[in-house]
Amino acid sequence: MKDIRLKKRIEEMVKVDQEARTQAKNSRGLQIPNILIYTLDSSHNYWIHKIIQQYGYPTSKMVGADGMKSFWLLVQHQDFDLELQESCLKNCDFALQEQAYLTDRICVNSGKKQIYGTQFNSPIEDEKNVNEKRSKMGLSTIEEYLKGNSRT
């Protein structure tokens, strides 16, 4: 049974998250937006823990696929709480692509090589077989990914 209030809460958090990141990106390196993002991520960390405490780990049955994608985005930005990221990866039914991104994020933040090549400028554990691993997670080839995200 879907919990509409929980889904709405998660989506409101993501809206604020994305607006802050857009403003920071457009601020051309000013420090205040970056400080606000750090503060926002800390606040969201508190609320993510409260959500888990109150409802358990969200699932698509609870909040729908869109709600899970939103929850994943919030968890993805919790780089300073690897334990939270790892427990959510283990206990939430994120889509395969989201699992790949979060797995790589955890690896990079743990000082390990990434598996799927989703995090720029970080080494890949098994470059020879990365496209096969990406394919299993529903991701494009690493070449297509890098081409689509090139910064010119």
pTM of structure: 0.90
Ranking 64-68, 88-92, 144-148 by mean pLDDT, the lowest is 144-148
Tell which residue, 54, 109, 53, has the closest CA to residue 76.
109
Mean pLDDT of all residues in 118-125: 94
Q: Is 124 helix (H, G, I), strand (E, B) or coil?
A: strand
pLDDT tens profile 12-58:
999 999 999 988 888 776 677 788 899 999 999 999 999 999 999 99
The ranges assigned to domains in the chain are 4-94
